[in-house]
A and B are shown apart, each in its own frame.
Chain A
Amino acid sequence: DVKVTQSSRYLVKRTGEKVFLECVQDMDHENMFWYRQDPGLGLRLIYFSYDVKMKEKGDIPEGYSVSREKKERFSLILESASTNQTSMYLCAISTLAGPDEQFFGPGTRLTVL
């Protein structure tokens, strides 16, 4: 069974704080993704990475950065959290071979006060 874990299910932070969201996979998959999910807006891609130390901007990268120092770990960083970053954050992984099926983690619901 594919396992994608996210460091927290629920997180509450204050405006201006630096926030780290971690995603860890046990499948040795090359591709890792960070999305945010908001009601009525669906999933929007923030950043993705297809290899260690590689990163690509998605559709809404502003206010976020990422880090991939090891293949199994992909971190999303909010340098200075703002209230409009309150959202559900979903991590996903996929492999380069075959259908690009993505496997998702359970999500982190972040509230910024």
Chain B
Amino acid sequence: GEDVEQSLFLSVREGDSSVINCTYTDSSSTYLYWYKQEPGAGLQLLTYIFSNMDMKQDQRLTVLLNKKDKHLSLRIADTQTGDSAIYFCAVSNQAGTALIFGKGTTLSVSS
């Protein structure tokens, strides 16, 4: 079945760049997503990329998509302590009826 994989933890220092990586098995998703979950809260959409694009930039966030390798990454420039959260990669299932989420990467930012 469809699968989305991401590493579980990432630790960076304040001011550094963070790169969170994700690989997926099914390439039929029209959009690919990054969600952020802050402690004690539900998930919020952070950004998404259309599957025909290679890159999308939104202020400190850069999303890179390599369709050939089925690899999606999220880069956060100048990482702040407020960026500490769990980040989920998500793609649509084959039927287009639901999203499949990775297990989430916990980003820890130290000052």
CB distance from B27 to the nearest CB of A (A): 16
- Contact B104–A107 (Cβ < 8 Å): no
Q: Which residue of A lies closest to B99 (CB)?
A: A102
- Contact A104–B43 (Cβ < 8 Å): yes
Contacts of A35 in B (CB 8 A): 101
CB distance from B8 to the nearest CB of A (A): 7
Which DSSP category, helix, strand, loop or mixed, fits chain A's interface?
strand
Q: A56 CA to B97 CA in the complex, in Å? A: 10
- Contact A104–B44 (Cβ < 8 Å): yes
Contacts of B98 in A (CB 8 A): 33, 45, 48, 58
The answer to whether the Cβ of B42 comes within 8 Å of any Cβ in the partner chain is yes
- Contact A42–B45 (Cβ < 8 Å): no
Between A and B, 14 residue pairs with Cβ closer than 8 Å are A4-B42, A31-B97, A35-B101, A41-B103, A42-B104, A43-B104, A48-B97, A56-B97, A99-B31, A100-B31, A102-B43, A105-B42, A106-B40, A107-B42
**Contacts from A to B (Cβ < 8 Å):** 4, 31, 33, 35, 40-43, 45, 48, 50, 56, 58, 90, 92, 99-107
**Contacts from B to A (Cβ < 8 Å):** 8, 30-31, 33, 40-45, 48, 88, 92, 96-99, 101-104
